Structure 1
Amino acid sequence: MAFLDPARTASVDVIVPCYRYGHFLEECVGSILAQAGVATRAIVIDDASPDGSAEVGAELARRHAAVTFVRHATNKGAIATYNEGIEWAEADYLLLLSADDALVPDTLRFSTQLMDRRPEVGFSFGNCLSLFEDGSLKLVRPLGGGAPSGPQVFGGETFIRRCGATNIVPTPTAVVRTTLQKRLGGYLPELPHSGDMEMWFRLAVHGSVGFTDETQGVYRRHDRNMSQGYDTAGGLPDLQQRKLAIDLFVERQADALANPEGWRAHLYRDLARVAVTRASSVFNTGDLSASWALSSFAATLDPRLRTSLPWLKLGAKRLAGPRGWRLLQGALSSARGKPSARGKAAAGTHPA
């Protein structure tokens, strides 16, 4: 393990892509400039926003020497904007931070100190706060509440296995070693929704992954999040983008993977489990077409799933039919001494 030079101040370029988020921009940039223990620069790239983003960005650059502002004459899209920011980056480390998100005060030093001490770490991440429109906050712990406390470093394969077919890295917390990012290239235009997942896998193949166990970022959830359109049809478009991310990762990193097709099968298997779980969930809501589409998608990924307990449970639901399944649930709840959904409603409470 290398020892940290106490006189060293790590530098971080924070890339801030902005499209119609001018009303969030000052808070976002302010959270970057407020970071202690690191030298930060905010690179704000406005993708031809029709709102006041350009005026806010230009004013921030006028007031702060550590803010660089760029405006596109025409809209280039999110992926091209991200990659332009990566090209601009010159610091030791970089972070991609959407203009509607923010950093928790004094947290970049946790990532940079971990990565300074462990030069084999290609990127690191931490916990995150989800900020909802009503002002409420929810702590997101990517490794789960039962994980050991304190900083950790994972080998790349261990990290990918832990993720499976799910992106566990909160993007506002992901600090990347700039030299590695530039060597491996930017985000893939084929993946407007799942580019993050492919990127973390790609970086993990070429370095270890650090986890700070600190709350580092704030992810704002609102009705204009870019991911909203992928929640339709029970989330099938989201899962299809994840499959494409897996395929592109395996195909383009084949030379760096010991068993590329083994990795594809492993990740497909996990994605199939997610799909059949969603198929069962949307069946409960009465969306039978979405349920069939999700289960068909799962079966194409991993035909062996047809003998699993979740698949057999879904089959039992379909045999009973939506009404029969609801009646059976009510009978089971009564047998366990729990009020059914109808009983809860009658009692003036809301069903879970």
Structure 2
Amino acid sequence: MAGLPSVTTVIPCYNYGHFLERAVRSALDQPGVDARVVIVDDASPDGSGKFAERLAAGDDRISVIRHEQNKGHIATYNDGFAVVDTEFVTLVSADDLVARGALTRAIAVMQRNPRVGLVYGRAVRFRGEPPIERDRSWLLAAVWPGIRWARAVARRATNPILSPEAVLRTAALRQIGGYNAQLPHAGDLEYWLRTALAWDVARVVGPAQAFYREHDTNMHNVRFGSGKKAVQLFDAFAPLLSHPATANLLPRLRRRLAAPLLRVVERLLVVGHWSSELDELVAAAGAIWPEWRLSRRWSAFGQSLDRRADGLAPSAGSVLRAWVPANLDRLRFKLEALVHRSPVAAHEIGG
């Protein structure tokens, strides 16, 4: 391995021992790189920690950190990052998989582009067995100045990275620090934005970079309250909105994040389905976008909420507004996404 670029895959694990070996092997099966794995077991009661230690006993490229008490996923991530001593690093949940050659490709992009601190690519969602991807002998890398990439993310108000497909330069990790413990359900996005403010960002175009397992116990899918998640998503943009080049995006971002919450409440109000959870969504929308009642799009809905508080049925105008604008919004978002995803530079990195 002497002379090869080195990369560590940090694998946080909580009760995913039955997935662990496959995740580890996928991270180590990377041609042309010195690949290592750090498993961080967060006091799993299912014996995942002991299984991780058995894996490490049979391969000196694997090391294990075991928590005596459960610390939660953010602390688990950061504890793994703290021991990384390789040039590159990635974070992959124990139930996800690294695509063969993914780390090789990401590292090639960063070696060619010294200013790139974050590389991601296509993540394939799956249930059960991962799909078989066709081998591709070529690929392209799209490279953005970090601030331009971050602005595009803010315009769309979505997180373009699931997580296992992201590879970092360890120098970037050390510069920006660890995950924010105050954002347990939006920490990934905030982390990518912090990185983009200091480094350029690249995307591998072509082959899959990771396989993301979807199931009911995904850490990302555990219910935390949709309203609270939305507020955390807004808070995740704080590093970007404090930057002078992007502060003007704040009004647009507020609308983008609050509108989906209001649409859900609007539709359920019209058909007469109300619950305390909808009160939470309205409160979250107000926390994100305090002026929503003053907008032409949502003023009638605000009046319907007032009518509901007085025990009256929603107005006919609000019924129409519940169904027509949503589809127009989605079409506009898709068109804008096509415009803003164009890279500044694209070049071939494979033969």
**How do 1:232-271 residues align onto structure 2 when only pairs under 5 Å count?**
232=225, 235-247=226-238, 249=239, 254=242, 257-258=243-244, 261-271=247-257
**How do 1:159-238 residues align onto structure 2 when only pairs under 5 Å count?**
159-164=149-154, 165-213=157-205, 214-230=207-223, 232=225, 235-238=226-229
Letter in 1 for 2:183: L
Letter in 2 for 1:79: I
Deviation digits for residues 159-201 of structure 1, max 9, x if unmatched? 1222223221120011011011112110111111111111011
Higher mean displacement: 290-299 or 216-225? 290-299
Aligned counterpart in structure 2 of residue 298 of structure 1, from 282, 285, 288? 285
Q: What CA distance in whole angstroms lies between the structure 1 residues aligned with 2:76 and 2:296?
A: 44
Task: Tell me which residue corresponds to 1:122.
Answer: 117
Greater RCO, CA 8 A, separation 6+: 2
Task: Tell me which residue corresponds to 1:142.
Answer: none
Letter in 2 for 1:89: V
Q: What CA distance in whole angstroms lies between the structure 2 residues aligned with 1:241 and 1:193?
A: 7
User: Structure 1 pair 32/284, CA: closer, same or farther in 2 (3 Å)?
Assistant: farther
Q: What CA distance in whole angstroms lies between the structure 2 residues aligned with 1:287 and 1:226?
A: 28
Q: What CA distance in whole angstroms lies between the structure 1 residues aligned with 2:153 and 2:269?
A: 26
Gaps of 5+ in 1: 1-6, 140-148, 333-352
User: Structure 1 pair 322/98, CA: closer, same or farther in 2 (3 Å)?
Assistant: farther
Aligned counterpart in structure 2 of residue 275 of structure 1, from 257, 261, 265? 261
Higher mean displacement: 177-186 or 261-270? 261-270
TM-score (norm 2): 0.76
Q: SS where residue 217 of structure 2 aligns? A: coil
Higher mean displacement: 265-274 or 25-34? 265-274
Task: Tell me which residue corresponds to 1:113.
Answer: 108
Q: What CA distance in whole angstroms lies between the structure 1 residues aligned with 2:166 and 2:172?
A: 14
Q: SS where residue 172 of structure 1 aligns? A: coil
TM-score (norm 1): 0.76
Q: Is the 8 A contact 1:127 1:216 kept in 2?
A: yes
Residue 42 of structure 1 pairs with residue 37 of structure 2: yes
Aligned CA RMSD, in angstroms, stands at: 3.4
Aligned counterpart in structure 1 of residue 127 of structure 2, from 107, 111, 132? 132
User: Structure 1 pair 210/295, CA: closer, same or farther in 2 (3 Å)?
Assistant: same
User: Structure 1 pair 64/240, CA: closer, same or farther in 2 (3 Å)?
Assistant: same
Deviation digits for residues 285-330 of structure 1, max 9, x if unmatched? 73465445434433443355446575368569878958989x989x
Higher helix proportion: 1
Q: Is the 8 A contact 2:77 2:91 kept in 1?
A: yes
Q: SS where residue 81 of structure 2 aligns? A: helix
Q: SS where residue 45 of structure 1 aligns? A: strand
Q: SS where residue 228 of structure 1 aligns? A: coil
Q: Is the 8 A contact 2:194 2:240 kept in 1?
A: no
Q: What CA distance in whole angstroms lies between the structure 2 residues aligned with 1:95 and 1:305?
A: 39
Q: Is the 8 A contact 1:127 1:170 kept in 2?
A: no
Task: Tell me which residue corresponds to 1:94.
Answer: 89
Gaps of 5+ in 2: 134-138, 325-351
User: Deviation of residue 107 (structure 1)?
Assistant: 1.5
